[in-house]
A = this chain, B = another copy of it.
Amino acid sequence: MALNEAARTHPSPISDPTSAEMHWSRWGDPAHAGPLADSAFALVDTFIGTSETPAVPSAEVRLSAPLADGLLAELAGIVGAEHVLTDHDSRLQRTRGKSTPDLLKLRAGDGTDSPDAVVRPGTHDEVVALIDWAVARHVAVVPFGGGTSVVGGLVARREGYAGVISLDLRRFDKLLEVDRTSMTVVLEPGLRGPAAEALLAAEGLTLGHFPQSFQYASIGGFAVTRSSGQSSAGYGRFDALVVGLKVATPQGTLELGNSPANAAGPDLRELVMGSEGAFGVVTAVRLRVRPLPQVTTYEAWRWASFADGAAAMRTLAQAGMLPTVLRLSDENETAINLAKPAEVGESGGDAGGCLMITGYEGTPEAVEAKRTAVTALLAGLGGDNQGADSGQAWADGRFHGPYLRDSLLDVGVLVETMETVTFWSNLDHVYTAVKDALVAALGEATLVLCHISHVYETGASLYFTVATKASAEPLPQWAVAKKAASDAMVHNGASITHHHAVGQDHKPWLAEEIGPVGVEMLRAVKERIDPTGVLNPGVLIP
């Protein structure tokens, strides 16, 4: 999400490492939920139109029936009765993820994908025992870390199972090991972003992994969804940080990762990463860490066009001169982020063009050397340095976008995001194809914003934010648009997802992307490791 400026009325969530459960039908901390700022409301009302669309009260949401008492007693025998929850709120809070369709269903009172019980194991052995129990009782198991999936990763197939349990990993909250020589740590999977960073900061270390979901998403979730954070240019994608994994499976425990890299056959860590609980439950992750930066600084740059800015990003990536953060908004996203309602309609002197954010972290010397080199290169390519204030403004607002979505849903505006990745030579083609597909599906009065926030030597991601007036049936309205945009991605040679993973929602396009032989490879592993199919059924495997 990109509407940072308008969202700045919310306090910063990054400062709260012991955050509460997420709001049942909104993103983030319930204490931060609220209406649109007046200025933002005026802007949206002018361009899209609004109509109040409140959520039902939480008590009115229809959930599945709780698990049978006999099964609950068996679960209590494994993890202790205090760690088996069936109350309305506990199940509601673990119902689906945080995609707009997930929220729309809950807001309308449909909680039928809820778990029939929430179970909170505290040890690897308890997870193994829970999986064995689930196999014996044919109960579906949905691993739950932060609950931030936006692709239906928490919606298990229910038919044919004796029930569905949410295996909540939040008791897995420890920093187990610090190896300063190798610069690795072992973290438990239930640690959410702020708690993990707080534990590491006490050691002078950081993962440098700050996706927009940072406040709630978990270490285990980052690994099994191949998360990528806003500092990926400097720190790498999460899958590049993972050096080892411990996984509980129906066939026993899998432990991988004795080295940075090796030639001991296929890299099975790469099978677990992206597996979204379909092959097992990750109970520990060994990760590469970096020293906590002494300096963090952001700058903004303005480019004449999205293409010019993208070309500059490509030059940086291929020259091996990437800053820690590098992102570029297209013309629409730039205009919205900088818009002040009072100025709408005027042709402001500064309007137009595309905003780029560069961020630098590290020692003072390293930051200054990199900043100097990048600045010279960008200026030489025609970039206009907007200074540190505009850069810091982005940084201050960067976790607020999801809160804004809820405020927009409250006033009848359908907002959702989607993302893809392709090679540089294909980037503009895919950008245009996806935008066109979304407008064709949703109508001309649709706002499509885009940014590039993850760059590689060979290509980059595209992240789209879409806003339109919600129809009376917003779920099918969005489904049509989602299919059109996804087809536009995959039919044009891009991936169905750069960092949102597959879940239930992206399965058809995953099948197209990896082809029938690739699908058989995934099915073969699934059927061998989880032959009765109790692990997150319906997710990932086409």
Contact = CB atoms under 8 A, between A and B. Distances in A.
Interface in A173-215: 179, 181-184
Given A260-B456, A271-B271, 4 more contacts: A227-B263, A264-B513, A265-B501, A520-B529
Interface stretch (A54-62, A110-118, A130-138, A245-253): A245-253
Given A494-B259, A510-B264, A528 B518 contact: no
A424 B184 CA distance: 10
B425 A182 contact: yes
A495 interface: yes
Interface in A456-486: 456-460
Copies in the complex: 2
Contacts of A423: 179, 181-182, 184, 243, 258-260
Contacts of A506: 264
B495 A264 contact: yes
Contact of A274 (B264, B514, B525): B264
Contacts of A501: 263-265
A274 B267 contact: yes
A516 B251 contact: yes
Interface in A317-341: 318, 320
A522 B265 contact: yes
B259 A184 contact: no
B264 A496 contact: yes
A64 to B, nearest CB: 27
A489 to B, nearest CB: 9
A497 interface: yes
A495 B273 contact: no
Nearest to A526: B524
Given A260-B423, A263-B501, A458 B253 contact: no
User: What are the 5 closest A-B residue pairs judged by CB atoms, nearest first?
Assistant: A524-B528, A270-B270, A260-B456, A226-B263, A262-B495
A518 B254 contact: yes
Interface in A497-542: 497-502, 506, 509-510, 513-518, 520-525, 527-529, 540
29 contacts: A179-B423, A181-B314, A181-B425, A226-B262, A237-B261, A239-B267, A251-B517, A252-B517, A254-B514, A254-B518, A255-B515, A258-B423, A258-B495, A259-B423, A260-B421, A261-B456, A262-B496, A263-B499, A263-B501, A263-B502, A264-B274, A264-B497, A264-B502, A266-B273, A267-B271, A270-B271, A288-B457, A521-B529, A524-B525
A358 interface: no
Contacts of A228: 261, 263
A314 B318 CA distance: 25
A502 B426 CA distance: 37
A493 interface: yes
Interface in A137-164: none
A256 interface: yes
Contacts of A517: 247, 249, 251-254, 529
Nearest to A311: B181
A422 interface: yes
Nearest to A319: B366
A268 interface: yes
A275 interface: yes
A421 B243 CA distance: 13
Given A265-B275, A274-B266, A506-B264, A259 B498 contact: yes
Given A258-B495, A274-B267, A179 B510 contact: no
Contacts of A239: 261, 267
A225 interface: yes
A145 to B, nearest CB: 15
Contacts of A495: 258-259, 262-264
A234 to B, nearest CB: 9
A272 interface: yes
B458 A510 contact: no
Given A183-B458, A494-B259, A264 B523 contact: no
Contacts of A258: 422-423, 493-495, 513
A95 to B, nearest CB: 23
A249 to B, nearest CB: 6
A184 B516 CA distance: 25
Contact of A527 (B460, B516, B524): B524
Nearest to A254: B517
